[in-house]
Structure 1
Amino acid sequence: MFLRKLCRGSGALNIRTYSVGVIDKRPPKILITGGLGQLGVECAKYLRGKYGRENVILSDIIKPTTEVANDGPYIFADILDFKGLQKIVVDHRVDWLIHFSALLSAIGEQNVPLAVRVNIEGMHNVIELAKQYRLRIFVPSTIGAFGPDSPRNPTPNITVQRPRTIYGVSKVHAELLGEYYHYRFGLDFRCLRFPGVISSDPPGGGTTDYAIAIFHDVLRKGRYQCYLKPDTRLPMMHVRDALRALSEFLEVPNEKLNRRVYNVTSMSFTPEELAEKINQHLKEFQITYQPDSRQDIADSWPQVFDDSEARRDWQWNPEVDLDNLVSLMIKEVKEKIAANGY
């Protein structure tokens, strides 16, 4: 569509490369799209700690809170506006692009046309942008990229996928498109398939977000009604491990990567097992179960993620186990509730 007219670059652009410590000693300039979603704000804080406050630009189409605006550079960026994205990359001398913009699984099923635009058309824009300006591009994928025909326990790095949500379909599309651009054009495309990522931020519409919602509801109301069955096993990781995996993966030299897409995980548990761990800290709370449409999604996803290739190729190793996760979440969600006064 409009990409045909806007995506032609000069030959001079195509020979420009960046590698920290090789061509240029300055830190990378990083643009994060969809920055006000589940991972964006925390990712910006993490990377600003490594590369400097002014070198990590958070972006979205939403007005940021005062806290976000004060924490570092924030700009408006619409991933469906290719020309606007070009201007940002040129004006800010962007080197690395972290593309978080996406509608998550449950939300995507409620609005498939919007999910197609955001998750698929938006991906077309950023991948072509990265090719034109020789950016290193990171795009997260998900356990949702697998489907009911995939082996579930464990799910290896390379296997049949066939997801049955538009979110999953769009992520398989992103994986394959990124790999194609890498092998066809030499694009430095990198992708991690994350499990459910658990942080203190309120849930954002993902199927695995029960593992976030339970802490908010238990600490605020003393009870939680779970939309999954008690024995539904899914792979998970705390946001601290997710950000560390992302950061370490971005810095791995290309020659060490045998793949462009890797599974990463920390643990697997069920709602019942999580509730039992929470009960060791908070004695009096109630959990009930009323499965809804998200149960069908969860039943098609991996139960245990095999991330042995990431451990082998770039020494990925998680640090937060289930016991640590529960302790961290109780502490962090209490602080979030106190700070927001609800």
Structure 2
Amino acid sequence: MQKSILILGACGQIGTELTLALRELYGNEQVVASDIREGTDSLMNSGPFELLDATNYEAIEDVIMYHEIEEVYLMAAMLSATAEKFPERAWNLNMNSLFNVLNLAKEKKIEKLFWPSSIAVFGPNTPKDNTPQSTIMEPSTVYGISKQSGERWCSYYYHKFGVDVRSVRYPGLISWKTLPGGGTTDYAIEIYHAALEKASYTCFLNEDVKLPMMFMDDAIRATIKLMDCNPEKISVRSSYNLAAMSFSPADISASIKKHIPNFKVSYSPDFRQGIAETWPSSIDDSKAKEDWGWESKFNLENTTVEMLKHLPSQSH
């Protein structure tokens, strides 16, 4: 089936892999990548690209009209650790970009919209284990506040204006294809690089802090599956809980040591430890399973195998 898709923030950690997956699915010319900077060679050479600021309504509208875009994936955002350093800039980027695409959908300029939320919407008062779909949130980070606000706006635009907006709350994401983008869970990518390069790693979180994580292939699959789903099956218009595995830095280092026995990890927690402590340790995603048949494929063991197998071929 042909459809024309625009990805805003296509050069980021998720955006890069999502763009390539969608191009493979729908054809290179059907998927327009865009960002405020150019991306990897594979992204730039495989299909159309537009230099585009996600906070500029008119510029987005022009690209949508020119390419006759039907669906938009808004992946542009400032992530948790970076957002704490630049609170107002993070709020402006994360919220204005969302308003732009919600309003374009409201004006019927696009038919469907994907916007990612995050486990950062949960806060210190949220039940930590098996965090329910609907629960106390009270996020205490800039990123979490912007994501929780975004969820409320998505729900509002759906109920008030019939905007077909869809969302998942991503856990920490692990990938060998792209470098981390300034998140609190980025240690889970850095640790593999360090294991292969110098067989030692200093972790910025405590060894026992368990967080929900997901291998990038699962995250991309979930995103596309939700966007392909019949709208009548979607009962959650804020954002769906999504889960795959939960582990701590000690767990991941043990799984690496099975392959690299001399690997050593030391711990030097920084401000990101405080962020991690406010997040859930595991997520209940039964609603996503029930509504659109979500099922993860990767656990910690096969994630470690994939990471160690593919990373040496990456240029650092």
CA distance in 1, matches of 2:159, 2:243: 26
Q: Which residue of 1 aligns with 2:241?
A: 263
Q: Shift of the alpha carbon at 1:230?
A: 0.5
CA distance in 2, matches of 1:65, 1:295: 31
CA distance in 2, matches of 1:325, 1:72: 29
Structure 1 length as normaliser, TM-score? Answer: 0.90
Residue 208 of structure 1 pairs with residue 215 of structure 2: no
Q: Which residue of 2 aligns with 1:194?
A: 170
Of 55, 66, 78, the match for 2:41 = 66
Q: Which residue of 2 aligns with 1:220?
A: 197
Q: Spell out, residue by residue over 1:197-228, the C-alpha distance to the aligned partner (whole angstroms, 9 max, x if none).
A: 10012221100110000001111121100011
**Letter aligned with residue 68 of structure 1:** L
Q: Which residue of 2 aligns with 1:53?
A: 28
Of 44, 47, 62, the match for 2:19 = 44
Q: Shift of the alpha carbon at 1:286?
A: 1.1
Q: Which residue of 1 aligns with 2:130?
A: 154
Whether contact under 8 Å (1:202, 1:216) holds in the other structure is: no
Q: Which residue of 1 aligns with 2:228?
A: 251
Q: Shift of the alpha carbon at 1:65?
A: 3.8
CA distance in 2, matches of 1:123, 1:91: 21
Aligned length: 313
Question: Which secondary structure does the structure 1 equivalent of 2:252 belong to?
Answer: helix
Unaligned runs of 5+ in 1: 1-25
**Letter aligned with residue 67 of structure 2:** H
Q: Shift of the alpha carbon at 1:66?
A: 3.3
Whether contact under 8 Å (1:105, 1:168) holds in the other structure is: yes
- Aligned 1:308-327 pairs, distance under 5 A: 308-327=286-305
Residue 120 of structure 1 pairs with residue 98 of structure 2: no
Q: Spell out, residue by residue over 1:222-279, the C-alpha distance to the aligned partner (whole angstroms, 9 max, x if none).
A: 1100011111000000000000000100011011111122111100001001100100
Which range moves more in the overlay, 66-75 or 171-180? 66-75
Q: Which residue of 2 aligns with 1:175?
A: 151
CA distance in 2, matches of 1:69, 1:326: 29
Unaligned runs of 5+ in 2: none
Residue 298 of structure 1 pairs with residue 276 of structure 2: yes
Identity %: 39
* Aligned CA-pair RMSD: 1.0
Q: Which residue of 2 aligns with 1:4?
A: none
Q: Which residue of 2 aligns with 1:22?
A: none
CA distance in 2, matches of 1:63, 1:211: 26
4+ residue runs of structure 1 moved beyond 2 angstroms? 63-68
Q: Which residue of 2 aligns with 1:330?
A: 308
Rg larger in 1 or in 2?
A: 1
Of 141, 145, 150, the match for 2:121 = 145
Structure 2 length as normaliser, TM-score? Answer: 0.97
